Amino acid sequence: MKTLVTLLKVLMVVFLLSAAPGCRVYTHLMYGMTQPKEQTPEDLVGFLEKNKFPATSLYMFVDSASYVRMMKHPVLGKNLLTHMIFTRNGILLMRDTTNCQWWGAEFIRKLHPDSSYRTTPGLLVDEVLAQIKPFGKSLPPDTVGKNPDFTIIVTWARFLGKYNYRLFDLEKAVTANKNARIRLIWLNIDMQKEWHLTRHHKVSVR
């Protein structure tokens, strides 16, 4: 699985470069990024609770095959470490790529089921949902998981350190929107111990 190592290194480079059009590229030192390590669901929940990040609606990839399959997807790759918004029909909304990855809180607050939005082809929400599974705490009883007006998927990782504050801050925008039923999915992209990766399969970020 040398492909996995190469792929993840490339993805980190793509992530850093993708910030350039709308904002300066921040180094791993500024955000306290660390070398990626294998995680467990318990490790991730503990990290979230320690930093007072949301600890519900958590998802991870089903296995390493699903992980690689989705990371190689051209549309998801362009939206790494940011958020994707899908309509009730599962179609991806077009986002302004000239802005920073975490841009979009005001747009989320104003999402309305009766409004028209520009969409982009190439990735449906069901394609992502088929490759991920929930972990950690269960969803709250009043979840809008069924028949949401919009689904927002935010990708995050423990090794990103303080950068996660930018991503998890989007929850405030979702909570502030009283006009739409929004399903929020926090999709973790850390390597998982249950995948049993060998030393040669693990990613290293320099």
Q: What is the pLDDT of residues 68-96, one digit of tens each?
A: 888 889 999 888 888 999 999 999 999 77
110-119: average pLDDT: 95
When divided into structural domains, the chain yields a total of: 1
Q: Which residue has the higher pLDDT, 13 or 159?
A: 159
Task: State the pLDDT at residue 19.
Answer: 45
Cβ partners under 8 Å of residue 48, min gap 6: 54, 55, 58, 136
Question: Is the entire prediction scored with pTM above 0.75?
Answer: yes
Which tens digit of pLDDT belongs to each residue from 19-71?
444 443 444 545 566 777 889 999 999 999 999 998 889 999 999 889 888 88
Could you please report the per-residue DSSP string of the chain? -HHHHHHHHHHHHHHHHHTTTTSPPPPHHHHT------B-HHHHHHHHHHTT---SSEEEESSHHHHHHHHT-HHHHHTTTSEEEEETTSEEEP--TTS-TT--HHHHHT--TTS---EEEEEEHHHHHTTEEEESSPPPTT---SS-SEEEEEEE-GGGTTHHHHHHTHHHHHHH--SS-EEEEEEE-S-BGGG---GGGS----
> Residue 206 falls within a domain, yes or no?
no
pLDDT score, position 13: 46
Residue 104 is part of which domain span?
Answer: 2-201
| Higher-pLDDT residue of 113, 7 | 113
Tokens of 69: 């399959």
CA–CA distance, 122 with 43 (Å, rounded to integer): 33
- Would residue 48 count as lying in a domain? yes
Residue pointed to by tokens 């030192």? 29
